[in-house]
Amino acid sequence: MAWLNQAAKLPGKAINLGIAIWWLHGMSSNKAFKLTGKALEQLGISRDAAYSALKRLEAQGLVRVERSPGQRPTVEILPVVCSVGEYPYKPHPSCSDPAKEPFI
């Protein structure tokens, strides 16, 4: 849930793309997977909007992206790094490993 909360705070179609990424993650047996046009189309995300949203998610530290010319980007969901309180930081209970977190 913490991952989607972070994505929801970003402008544009970042949350829509985040949902598509989680859906693809659930369908994939690998940590890294291709961002498909079908997933984007089903959620009404244009290629340009997806490119911008992917850059935002990457800048926020929510995904790792591998780009190759002429290929769809390969995406890996990263765990949310969040903390509360003073130094030394203690992890917030809502922070978890996205690979173990159920799709919401």
Residue 84's pLDDT is what?
53
Residue 44's pLDDT is what?
86
Widest Cα–Cα separation across the chain = 46
Residue 103's pLDDT is what?
44
Exposed / middle / buried, residue 95 (Cβ in 10 Å: 0-12, 13-18, 19+): middle
Residue 37's pLDDT is what?
87
Residue 104's pLDDT is what?
43
Mean pLDDT per 10-residue interval, the chain, length 104 residues:
91 93 90 89 89 95 94 93 50 51 46
CA dist 25 → 19, 76, 78, 87 (Å): 10, 8, 11, 34
Residue 102's pLDDT is what?
47
| The CATH number fitting domain 2-91, selected from 1.10.10.10, 3.30.200.20, 3.10.300.10, 3.20.20.70 | 1.10.10.10
